[in-house]
Amino acid sequence: MKSSMRSALNGIELNRAKYTSFSRHYTSARVLREIANVLQPLLQAGDTFVDFACGQNSFGGMLVDPATKMPLPVRAFDLISPVDKTADFERRNWFSVSSGELPAGELVIGLNPPFGHNNKTAIDFVRHSLCMKPRMLVLIMPATNYQPEGYELVHQDDQLCRGYAFYVPGSASANWINAKNVDPQLYVYRRKEGMPGPGQRDTYCVHQQDLIRKVRNRKRKSFEWAKQSEMASRQEQERLCQPCRT
């Protein structure tokens, strides 16, 4: 197969064993370690890290509970399972996760959402995270004017994710991405004093309900399309059989 053709194919077709997250970019191990070094001094005893788009699920294991010196508790979600590191993983759409399904204590939520057009998907991921009332948000996002309501920016790095900081899964080396066109940056936000905490999480999440509506509409449209296709097929068969009857 020509290399140009291979590069056009999705990684899931070329190397299923290494492919773990559909149509997404992964963060290099080097960048993840540097982000962990930034985040570690900001962690508190009892924190749980929630990775809403975990990919290979590598980042959470780099964090340590400052009191116990043990690995920080982690909950990780994504659409396709990682090859390994699945002990704390659930194959879930982030928007299907409700606040009541997460640990009751303080949460730190991140890290690398799919960006989407004009950052829309990434911002949607953050807005759903706000329903969980996390203590901190740690985010890799393109430069944006978006400010999570009730949170203050405590760290920003516009250099860490420059250059070849991301790669497409399914390749050991060839699919590194130079992210110069989207200018991804690291943001760490902390919940402002006096803002609602984990005891006041949103029990009714508009983002989760919106996902439920979309799934229902998709199923309804699929059912209607199948009925229309079956009817059209039956009509075509009847038309073709008409000469036989005469």
If asked whether residues 190 and 217 sit together in one domain, one would say no
- pLDDT for the residue 9: 34
Q: pLDDT: is 227 or 124 the higher one?
A: 124
Q: pLDDT: is 121 or 22 the higher one?
A: 121
Domain that holds residue 237: 205-246
Q: Is the pLDDT of residue 19 over 60?
A: no
pLDDT band at 6 (very low <50, low <70, confident <90, very high): very low
Strand order in the sheet with 48-51: 89-91, 74-78, 48-51, 107-110, 136-142, 184-191, 151-157
Give the ranges where the chain is alpha helix by DSSP (H).
3-8, 11-14, 29-39, 120-130, 206-245
If asked whether residues 196 and 236 sit together in one domain, one would say no
For residue 137, how many C-alpha atoms fall within 13 Å in the half-sphere facing its CB? 29
Beta bridge partners of residue 107, listed in sequence order: 48
If asked whether residues 170 and 63 sit together in one domain, one would say yes
Q: Is the pLDDT of residue 208 over 70?
A: no
If asked whether residues 243 and 166 sit together in one domain, one would say no
Dist. CA 113–CA 15, nearest whole Å: 23
Q: Is the pLDDT of residue 59 over 60?
A: yes
If asked whether residues 93 and 127 sit together in one domain, one would say yes
If asked whether residues 63 and 168 sit together in one domain, one would say yes
Q: Is the pLDDT of residue 20 over 50?
A: no
If asked whether residues 222 and 121 sit together in one domain, one would say no
If asked whether residues 192 and 237 sit together in one domain, one would say no
Give the CATH number, domain containing residue 164. Answer: 3.40.50.150
Q: Are 191 and 133 in contact (CB under 8 A)?
A: yes
pLDDT band at 233 (very low <50, low <70, confident <90, very high): confident
Q: What pTM was estimated for this model as a whole?
A: 0.74
If asked whether residues 132 and 229 sit together in one domain, one would say no
Dist. CA 120–CA 111, nearest whole Å: 16
If asked whether residues 75 and 111 sit together in one domain, one would say yes
pLDDT digits (tens, 9 = 90+) for 161-205: 877 777 776 655 557 666 666 678 999 999 999 999 998 887 767
If asked whether residues 126 and 225 sit together in one domain, one would say no
